[in-house]
Structure 1
Amino acid sequence: MNLPAFVQGLRDSVSIAVGYIPVAISFGLAAVHVGLSPITTILTSMLIYAGASQFILVGLIATGGSLASIVGIILLMNLRHIFYGPAVLAKLGEASRRLPVGLLAAGLTDEVFATAIGKLGQQAPAAREYWYAGLQLGAYSSWVLGTVVGAYFGHDWLSQSPVLSKALGFVLPALFCALLLEIRKIVPFRVLVAAGIATLLGLALLPAYGAIIAGMLAGALFSARRS
């Protein structure tokens, strides 16, 4: 194992963790509030690990949604990973791959994807898998840790600090803005504009997850036409 590359991946995950922990605390608090036990809440983050999808899952459970509708909506929301996986694999390369593809896919999230696309090219080919594994583990651990804190202690903290409760909603959007600036270095501006316009138009006609997919398709098509 390339330990230095793995440790560097952990270090590079800190920027993701800064955004994940507050949001995961909010998830832990929300899940317990609708009746899930702390243990069930933590297992949800450990086994599903799907960010916004987990909040929707909690909402559907709270409103008595059927199992079929819950599974269907969560799957639709995460269709974007069909695009993420091949892009990351292309950056990792084939020659030096040692880790199972399933392991490499397990921790793929929006923020991990954006960071990996921006920084994988800076790693030596033989070190990329281990750097990526460290990045994933750091992000995953922070999400689970935040959920634990929210499930067991979140209510007490937020009730004592109204400022903190309002700040939690700002952290993840700020992280996305920072990641967008990172991606801007390697993606043509015109492609980002095409994806952004398609996403905004999609929001007027589709659920949020549908708008995201529309934006990704528009960006991919526009990039392919210009290349």
Structure 2
Amino acid sequence: MSGRYSGAFSRGVFNSFSVGVGYLPIGFSFGAAAVQSGLPETAALLISMLVYAGASQFLLISLVTAGAGLLTAVPTVLLMNARHLLYGPTLVSAIPEKHAKLGSPWLAFGLTDEVFATAMSRLPSVAPEHRDYWVLGLQVGAYIAWAGGTALGVVFVREVDHWPEAVRDGLGFVLPSLFLALLLETGLRRWWASILASVVVAAILCSFVATHHALALGILVGALSHGLVSRMARE
């Protein structure tokens, strides 16, 4: 890697700090939960290093410990991560083809929700000829934080029960707080319509349907409202 690209890579690693701060405790939670569920420590580490699927990993250990076979667990995890099929083309379109030095496989593995959100908000400030190496640095930093957090969870799983209850309860709020931090980083004013629509719809539907259905429908309405506002602004 030449000096001009190593600088972009290093900047990407530095910009991954906001994602990594959230990934460390989430990865820790996964490592601890996996070992407590009966998975071997090596298996817990390998899942984070090879699957690297965030919330889907928690679903995976739930299915495995419940006795689900590979024919059930693998398609379920793949379906849960199908949204990444939309992330890829969107991210690639932000990297001009004439400046792309890395093939798609280099950028595909590390593309998570948080990496995608950070990349789409910061890429406009990165020079087009440096964007692919910057994205790679962003992904590497986030990956190290996730795998490192899992390793810490595996090592210190026996100490978790001795932690203050407030700290243990706080681990469950790390993922929502990470998404909130990323949202604040991109700027609330830009997304006010979709945020308001999502919150109102989800809050109302929670009284009538299961919470996870209300959240999914709220997200859908929020996305549609953002598209409508953007279209009206262009006209």
TM-score range, shorter chain: 0.7 to 0.9
After TM superposition, give the deviation of residue 190 of structure 1 in Å: 2.5
Q: Is 2:228 the partner of 1:222?
A: yes
Q: Which runs of 5+ in 2 are unaligned?
A: none
What TM-score does the superposition give when structure 1 sets the normalisation length? 0.87
Q: The residue matched to 1:107 in structure 2 has which SS?
A: coil
Q: CA 1:49 to 1:124, structure 2 compared with 1: closer, same or farther past 3 Å?
A: same
Q: CA 1:31 to 1:161, structure 2 compared with 1: closer, same or farther past 3 Å?
A: same
Match of 2:80 in 1: 77
Q: Is 2:9 the partner of 1:6?
A: yes
| Root-mean-square deviation over aligned CA pairs | 2.6
After TM superposition, give the deviation of residue 73 of structure 1 in Å: 1.7
2:216 to 211, 219, 227: 211
- How far apart in 1 are the matches of 2:214 and 2:60? 14
After TM superposition, give the deviation of residue 72 of structure 1 in Å: 2.3
- How far apart in 1 are the matches of 2:203 and 2:110? 28
Tell me the percent identity. 41
Q: Is 2:150 the partner of 1:147?
A: yes
Provide, for residues 161-218 of structure 1, a one-character-per-residue CA deviation record: whole Å limited to 9, x for no partner: 1243122122222111011123346844324445556666887369569927745863
Q: Which runs of 5+ in 1 are unaligned?
A: none
Q: CA 1:116 to 1:185, structure 2 compared with 1: closer, same or farther past 3 Å?
A: farther
Select between 167-176 and 216-225 the one with higher mean Cα deviation: 216-225
2:24 to 21, 24, 28: 21
Q: Is 2:104 the partner of 1:98?
A: no
What TM-score does the superposition give when structure 2 sets the normalisation length? 0.84
Aligned residue runs from structure 1 range 6-155, under 5 A = 6-155=9-158
Q: CA 1:70 to 1:175, structure 2 compared with 1: closer, same or farther past 3 Å?
A: same
1:176 to 164, 176, 179: 179
How many corresponding residue pairs? 226
Report the structure number with the largest CA radius of gyration.
Answer: 2
Q: The residue matched to 2:98 in structure 1 has which SS?
A: coil
Q: The residue matched to 1:99 in structure 2 has which SS?
A: coil
Residue pair 2:194, 2:223 contacting (<8 A) in 1 also? no
Provide, for residues 2-37 of structure 1, a one-character-per-residue CA deviation record: whole Å limited to 9, x for no partner: 111111111111111110111111100111111111
